[in-house]
Amino acid sequence: MPLAMSRPWKHPNSGVYWLRKGVPEDLRALVGKREEKRSLQTRDPVEAKRRHAEALAEIEERWANLRAGPKALTEREAHQLAAVVHDRWLQQHADNPSQQTAWNVDLADRLFAPPRRLRSYNILDPDFDDPNGVQILQMERWCLEGADECLATRGMVVDDQSRRLLAKAIAAAVQRASLTLARLAMGEVPASGFLPVQSAVVPFAASQQPLPLTDLVKGWAAERRPAAKTLYEWSRVVRQLGDYLGHSDARRLTGEDLIGWKQSMVEGGLRPKTIQDAKLAPMRAILQWGVHNKHIASNPAEGISLDARSKQGEKKRSFSDEEAKIILRAALAEKDPVRRWVPWIGAYSGARVSEICQLRSEDIIKIEEIWCMKFDPEAGSLKTSGSERIIPLHPALIEAGFLKFVAKIKAGPIFAALAPDKFGKRGGNGTKVIGRFVRQLGLTDTRLSPSHSWRHRIKTSGRKHGLAQDILDAITGHGSRSVADSYGEFPVEALYREISKIPKLEL
């Protein structure tokens, strides 16, 4: 079915209007695609028509320039093209003019200047090595890249001399804007309308080169070194936002964009907690890294959230005694090691399923005559620093034959038959196995988590049977509640004394 290319196209999922225009056959090689697609970033049909007309005019002008072929710019044309950079630079820094530190106004007159004539070629001469040389080259390169972006946006093909002429015009534009900002930073009251009205030139991001959100993710990940699964999930969130917006430029991202994205997810039926914790929180963290590292001026996700509190009947809960018995009784009859032992370990330790599934035979150790499980990062990544811990084996677990099971494994993972997921973790597939196992037993209450409800239960049992709170937190791997709790260690004898207070379930 042919596309309706003369009017805005409404995306069936997001409701955002788009421009879609087929590229003429004679220009496809130059444009590099068969169709021009651009998000109009609005759901308002009236506003979409206006933006569609503007965007279509820009595209038609660019195509006309491509057809015209190479041309030489005059100085006047170069300054007209660079005028929008001046406007954008002022707009970007107007609220906090003193924070403009990227452009060194003291070096501007040396950009694109002829090489300095040295008085001598003696390397000991203080003039031989220019201390500002690197920064000057960086500023020149930035202007040249801006010129390339401007020309590409308009579809203009020029010679090297014209490219350099435009880069010099951009340098002059940014210099004028930076001097104005310096005066504003000193408290000078701006003249009425000091921010020029946007010129008729096509908007151009040379003042701020496009910054892919994926670049921020890479920078954040290089510093934070997250788990592979976290990096995968956060990268997917960034792609989802880009699909919604129709672009992935962090510097074009606004709070309104994110609010619209949030609303689209709400309308799509996504759970509030998922939107808050799995979508907005990653974006907020990634963008904040960009702010801290001077890639973007502010965090557009700051303050954008929604009420993610559980509604009545939605809060996750513990397994009751009867529910726990159903699962443990069924597990006794299982031959598959995962279904046989993961529920039992969870029931009597409160450990996460990801921690249990990566246990190795060498992690089952005897300390001062007490058998224990050691959750060690050598076996696989752990959720937090508090997750690295030792938990004594509950007497019920030993009585059920867990040590005999481990003794049959000479070395390595005790659930070796459980295939790792695409992140190299057995816990991902272990969660799926246990999920199906528990649900097939008829425990279909959505407030129950087939794996995580054991952690809720161990907390509930700990309160019921009087376990010391700091030791209960140490057993489950939760952080200290106070500075005082973080002092000292937790002797195995104390951990065993407390965990043994939880009674064995009589099956």
pLDDT in tens, 348-375: 998 999 899 999 999 999 998 999 999 8
Sign of CA dihedral 61, 66, 67, 72: positive
pLDDT of residue 386: 57
CA dist 87 to 81, 90, 196, Å? 11, 5, 6
Burial class (CB in 10 A: 0-12, 13-18, 19+), 506: exposed
Amino acid in the structure at residue 162? S
Between residues 369 and 133, which one has the greater pLDDT?
Answer: 369
pLDDT of residue 124: 47
pLDDT of residue 137: 84
What's the CA gap between 452 and 432, in Å, rounded? 12
- Cα torsion 219, 224, 225, 231 to 10°: value is -70
Q: How high is the mean pLDDT of the chain?
A: 82
Contacts for 133 with CB less than 8 Å, ≥ 6 apart? none
Residue 346: pLDDT above 90? yes
Residue 77 sits at the vertex; the CA angle it makes with 73 and 80, to the nearest 5 degrees, is: 145
pLDDT of residue 207: 40
Instruction: Give tens-digit pLDDT for 138-190.
Output: 888 889 888 888 887 776 777 778 888 999 999 999 999 999 999 988 887 66
pLDDT average, residue stretch 235-263: 89
Domain boundaries, given as residue ranges, for the chain = 9-68, 75-115+129-207, 218-292, 321-499
Residue 128: pLDDT above 60? no
Domain 321-499 is found in CATH 1.10.443.10:
yes
What's the CA gap between 437 and 448, in Å, rounded? 13
Asked if 142 contacts 199 with a C-beta cutoff of 8 angstroms, the reply is: no
Asked if 475 contacts 458 with a C-beta cutoff of 8 angstroms, the reply is: yes
pLDDT of residue 51: 85
CA–chain centroid gap for 158, Å, is 39
Instruction: Give tens-digit pLDDT for 406-435.
Output: 999 988 899 999 888 877 888 889 999 999
> Among 66-70, 132-136, 282-286, 316-320, which is the least confidently predicted range?
66-70
Say if pTM beats, i.e. exceeds, 0.85.
Answer: no
What residue ranges in 146-244 does DSSP mark as E strands? none
Between residues 259 and 70, which one has the greater pLDDT?
Answer: 259
- Tokens representing residue 408 in the block: 């049959």
Q: Which residue has the tokens 């590292």?
A: 293
Residue 341 sits at the vertex; the CA angle it makes with 340 and 344, to the nearest 5 degrees, is: 110
Considering the chain, what percentage of its residues have pLDDT values greater than 90?
Answer: 31
Residue 482: pLDDT above 60? no
Give, for 19, the enclosing helix (H) or strand (E): strand 17-22
DSSP labels for 347-379? Answer: HHH---HHHHHT-BGGGEEEETTEEEEEE-TTT
Sign of CA dihedral 379, 383, 386, 387: negative
pLDDT of residue 129: 54
pLDDT of residue 328: 95
